[in-house]
Amino acid sequence: MLSEEEKEELKAELVQLEDEITTLRQVLSAKERHLVEIKQKLGMNLMNELKQNFSKSWHDMQTTTAYKKTHETLSHAGQKATAAFSNVGTAI
């Protein structure tokens, strides 16, 4: 059980935390608006950002070891398949 004094302290702390959260939300909202303004001034829009993010992600993926190994394996398999089809065509 909490004493009345402890309950009052917790209620005061609760009010303070709620006020702080409200303030933080307001600050975040202001910063987000400022961010949008800066992006507009720089000519950046959602489509440009998506293109940049996609290009970066694609580049990052292509530099992974797994991608390189898979690419090499598929390239080698393609060369063998081409040779096999060529041999089949010659035999026919």
pLDDT in tens, 60-91: 888 888 888 888 888 888 888 888 888 877 77
Paired tokens of 35? 């961010």
Q: pTM surpassing 0.75?
A: no
Residue 9 lies in a domain: no
> Which structural domain range is residue 57 located in?
17-87
Q: Give the tens place of pLDDT for each residue, 8-45.
A: 999 999 999 999 999 999 999 999 999 989 988 988 88
Please name the residue that has the structure tokens 């998506």: 50
Alpha carbon distance 47, 53 (integer Å)? 10
Helix, strand or coil for residue 91?
A: helix
Asked if residue 10 lies in contact with residue 2, where contact means CB atoms within 8 angstroms, the answer is yes
- Tell me if 6 is assigned to some domain: no
29 inside domain:
yes
The domain total for the chain is 1
Q: Provide the CA 3 distance to its chain's centre, in angstroms.
A: 48
**Tokens describing residue 92:** 């026919």
43 inside domain: yes
